C-alpha cells in the first residue's frame, strides 16, 4: 500500500508542476501574485532550470515593476552564484552589468561585463559587453586598457557600421591625449569623417577634433547635411520638410524655441530635452552653432542619443528620444524598428503595431526578422510576452499574417 501512496504523491507533483508551466495555465497579471506563483515553481525543485527561470522572473518583477532594484539585484546575484553558466544566470548577469553601468559604477560594471563575455561568449550580447568593457575603462581613466578593448572591438566587428564611428572616435580621443600619437589620432578622426559622413553627431565631433589637431576635414558641413538628408528621407518627405510647415531637419526657424518646448513623453516618462542636455552633445561646437540657427543637426543628435540608450537596453530613455525623432519628421527603417521594440517593452502594443506598420513600408524584410525573434520568445522564453509580440505584428503586412497565425496555433 505504501508504494501506491508514493506513486500517487509523485504523480501529483508532476501534475502540479505541469500546470505551473503549461502554456494553457494562466499566469497571474498582478505582480505580487506572480511572485507567489514563481515561488511555488521554485520550491518544487530548486535545482531545476524551471526553478532558475522562476527565480529570474521574481528578480525582474522587483527590478522593473516594484521599483526595488536592490532586491532585484540581490536575487540576480544569488541566481548567478548558484549556477554561473546557466542561461538564466546569463540573463541575471546582464541585468546586473547594465545596472552598474547606468549608475556610473564603472568598476563593478567592468567586472560584470567581463564575466558575461567569458561565461556567455556565444550570446549575441557579448558583443555589446565587449564594447561596454572598453567604455568602463575609458570612464575609469585607464586609457591604455580602453584603447586596447576598442581596437579589439574594431578588429572583431569591422561590419558594425552603427558602432564603428563611435569606437573610432574613442580611439582617436585616446590617441589625441598622447603627444607621441597625434598622427595616429589624425588618421583615426579622418577615417570617421571620410568613411562615415552620415554618422551624426560623431562625424561632427571628429571634424572638430581633426581641425584642433591641425588636420583637414575633407567633407564640409553642407555636404554632410545633404548626404544625411538623402539617406533618411524619401522624395515626398523631402518636399514636406522644405515646406513652410517647419517639419524635419531642413526648416526649423527657431531651433532654441522648438527645443525649449519639448515636454515629457506621456508613454516613456522622460523628456528628450533633458536627456540631450545630460548627454553633453549639445556642447559640441557644431551642434551648438546649429542650435543657434535652424537646428539642422537636432534630429541627428536626438536619434543617436536614443540609439545609445537602446544599446544598453534602457528602453524608456531610448523610446523617449526615438519618439521625438519621429516627431521631428525623420523616416528611417532602423528608427521605426527600435521605436516599435521600445513600445513593446513598456506594454504599448497598439503603438508598437503602428511603428512596425511604418517599418513594413520601408523595410519589410525587417518585419520577417521581428516575427522570427518573437517566435523564439514564444517557444523558449516568456510565452505570454512572445504571444503578444506576435499578435501585435498581425495586420502590419498582409504577407506575414498567415505565418503569424500558424505560429500562434502551436
The model scores a pTM over 0.75: no
- Angle at CA 349, nearest 5°, toward 266 and 24? 135
Spatial contact of 333 and 362, defined as CB atoms under 8 Å apart: yes
pLDDT per position as a tens digit, 135-194: 999 999 999 889 989 998 998 888 888 899 999 999 999 999 888 888 888 899 989 988
d(C-alpha 245, C-alpha 88), whole Å: 51
pLDDT per position as a tens digit, 117-132: 888 888 889 999 999 9
User: Domain spans of the chain?
Assistant: 235-330, 339-410
In terms of Cβ atoms closer than 10 Å to its own Cβ (0-12, 13-18, 19+), residue 299 is buried
Each of the 410 residues of the chain gets a pLDDT tens digit; together they read 444 444 444 344 444 444 444 444 567 778 888 888 898 888 988 889 899 999 999 999 998 888 788 999 999 999 999 988 899 999 999 999 999 999 999 999 999 999 998 888 888 899 999 999 999 999 999 998 899 899 989 988 888 888 999 999 999 999 998 888 888 888 999 899 888 888 878 888 888 888 887 654 444 443 434 433 333 333 333 322 332 222 334 446 677 888 889 999 999 999 999 998 887 778 777 778 888 887 777 888 888 788 878 877 788 999 999 999 998 888 888 888 889 889 988 988 889 888 888 888 888 877 877 787 777 777 776 778 777 877 878 777 777 777 777 877 77
Helix, strand, coil percent values for the chain (each to nearest 5): 75, 0, 25
- Radius of gyration (C-alpha) of the chain in whole angstroms: 24
Contacts of 366 (CB under 8 A, 6+ apart): 333, 337, 359
SS3 160: coil
Spell out the CATH class of 339-410: mainly alpha
Amino acid at each position: 500500500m505504501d508504494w501506491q501512496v508514493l506513486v500517487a504523491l509523485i504523480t501529483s507533483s508532476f501534475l502540479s508542476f505541469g500546470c505551473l508551466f503549461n502554456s494553457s495555465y494562466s499566469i497571474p497579471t498582478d505582480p505580487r501574485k506572480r511572485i507567489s506563483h514563481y515561488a511555488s515553481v521554485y520550491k518544487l525543485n530548486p535545482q531545476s532550470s524551471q526553478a532558475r527561470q522562476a527565480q529570474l522572473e521574481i528578480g525582474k518583477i522587483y527590478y522593473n515593476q516594484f521599483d526595488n532594484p536592490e532586491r532585484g539585484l540581490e536575487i540576480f546575484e544569488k541566481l548567478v552564484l548558484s549556477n554561473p553558466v546557466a542561461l538564466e544566470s546569463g540573463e541575471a548577469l546582464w541585468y546586473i552589468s547594465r545596472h552598474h553601468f547606468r549608475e556610473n559604477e564603472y568598476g563593478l560594471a567592468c567586472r560584470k561585463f567581463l564575466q558575461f563575455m567569458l561565461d556567455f561568449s556565444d550570446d549575441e550580447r557579448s558583443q555589446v559587453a565587449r564594447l561596454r568593457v572598453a567604455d568602463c575603462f575609458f570612464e575609469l581613466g585607464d586609457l591604455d586598457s580602453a584603447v586596447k578593448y576598442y581596437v579589439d572591438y574594431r578588429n572583431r566587428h569591422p561590419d558594425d557600421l552603427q558602432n564603428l564611428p563611435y569606437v573610432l572616435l574613442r580611439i582617436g580621443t585616446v590617441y589625441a591625449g598622447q603627444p607621441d600619437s597625434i598622427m595616429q589620432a589624425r588618421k583615426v578622426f579622418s577615417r570617421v569623417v571620410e568613411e562615415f559622413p552620415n554618422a551624426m553627431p560623431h562625424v561632427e565631433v571628429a571634424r572638430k577634433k581633426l581641425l584642433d589637431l591641425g588636420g583637414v576635414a575633407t567633407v564640409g558641413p553642407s555636404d554632410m547635411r545633404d548626404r544625411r538628408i538623402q539617406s533618411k528621407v524619401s522624395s515626398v518627405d523631402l518636399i514636406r520638410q522644405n515646406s513652410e510647415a517647419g517639419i524635419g531637419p531642413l526648416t526649423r526657424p527657431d531651433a532654441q524655441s522648438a527645443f525649449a518646448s519639448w515636454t515629457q513623453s506621456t508613454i516613456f516618462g522622460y523628456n528628450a530635452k533633458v536627456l540631450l542636455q545630460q548627454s553633453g552633445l549639445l556642447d559640441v561646437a557644431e551642434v551648438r552653432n546649429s542650435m543657434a540657427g535652424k537646428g539642422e543637426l537636432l534630429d541627428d543628435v536626438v536619434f543617436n542619443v536614443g540609439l545609445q540608450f537602446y544599446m544598453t537596453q534602457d528602453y524608456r530613455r531610448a523610446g523617449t528620444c526615438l519618439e521625438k525623432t519621429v516627431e521631428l519628421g525623420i523616416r528611417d527603417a532602423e528608427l521605426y524598428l527600435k521605436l516599435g521594440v521600445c513600445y513593446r517593452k513598456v506594454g504599448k502594443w497598439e503603438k508598437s503595431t503602428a511603428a512596425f506598420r511604418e517599418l513594413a513600408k520601408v523595410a519589410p524584410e525587417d518585419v520577417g526578422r521581428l516575427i522570427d525573434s518573437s517566435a523564439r520568445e514564444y517557444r523558449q522564453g516568456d510565452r505570454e510576452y512572445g504571444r503578444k509580440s506576435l499578435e501585435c505584428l498581425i495586420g502590419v503586412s498582409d504577407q506575414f499574417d498567415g505565418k503569424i497565425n500558424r505560429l500562434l496555433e502551436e
